[in-house]
Amino acid sequence: MEIFDLLGYFGALIIGVVLGLIGGGGSILTVPVLVYLLAINPVTATAYSLFVVGTSSLVGAFNNMKKKLVDFRTATVFSIPAFIAVYITRKYIVPAIPDHIFTLWGFEVTKNIGIMLFFALIMVVASISMIKNNRSEDIVETKVKYNYPLIIIEGVVVGILTGIVGAGGGFLIIPALVLLARLPMKKAVATSLLIIAVKSLIGFIGDVENLEIDWVFLLIFTGLSIVGIFIGGYLNKFIDGKKLKIAFGWFVLVMGIYIIWKEIF
């Protein structure tokens, strides 16, 4: 086994540890680990990421269900437009993207480069959301109200983004649950994991029909990530999650800028 393979599998563990420590964000590392350490094609990497993100989020969602933090009605309302959009994106839109997208000033933007650049931009936006970290944990619980038109639009947008880049999109879902469904923060975070799990795994179904999946590798990688979640959950008792989230946000920002630089130059 080569050093990059070992680093890749170690990366799977770290993804889980970050998820367990800060409750989200770690999944955004999945695609870079798969592409740059394990040399997997970006389209396949985003598909594998959906499975890893979906399965890992499901583990977190089950833990939150035991604590009765998941709002199932809200999860259903948000999930339906999101999983329809992510399935259509993986089944029809991603395969339809041409191998050559365009050429600008002699630089050819291929499908793989385009996906990685778009992914890097999402990383930058997500990192800013983590660095700001101004969410209040003490929002008073009020009666849940649904702004259905905005929920449908938000669900479709998150579904398409998830379908293209293979990340969970929690940095978009959580604020939407707070603003559009008036959920308190703890319930929003817990409910978002169930939404991410459902839409990611349904999106992955669209890939099973289009791609050849290496199930042995994928299950090992996902298993390591789940082990990491439990390690992170244990370490969470001793580490300040808010400070860690800001530090991780800066790391994601640097990673996003690096990917843009690497793909262009």
User: What are 169-217's pLDDT values in tens digits?
Assistant: 777 788 788 888 788 878 888 888 888 889 889 989 989 888 999 999 9
Asked if 97 and 104 touch (Cβ cutoff 8 Å), the reply is no
In order, the DSSP letters of 35-103 are IIIS---HHHHHHHHHHHHHHHHHHHHHHHHHTT---HHHHHHHHHHHHHHHHHIIIIIHHHS-SEEEE
Q: Looking up tokens 């800013």, which residue turns up?
A: 128
pLDDT at residue 136 in the model: 52
Per-residue pLDDT tens over the stretch 220-261 = 999 999 999 889 888 877 877 677 878 888 988 999 999 999
Query: Which structural domain range is residue 61 located in?
Result: 3-264
pLDDT at residue 133 in the model: 65
SS3 237: coil
Q: 248: closest CA among 10, 20, 2?
A: 20
Per-residue pLDDT tens over the stretch 113-140 = 999 999 999 889 888 888 886 555 545 5
Span between the terminal Cα atoms of the chain, in Å:
29
Number of domains into which the chain is organized: 1
pTM of the model: 0.85
Q: Looking up tokens 């702004």, which residue turns up?
A: 147
pLDDT at residue 35 in the model: 93
pLDDT at residue 141 in the model: 55
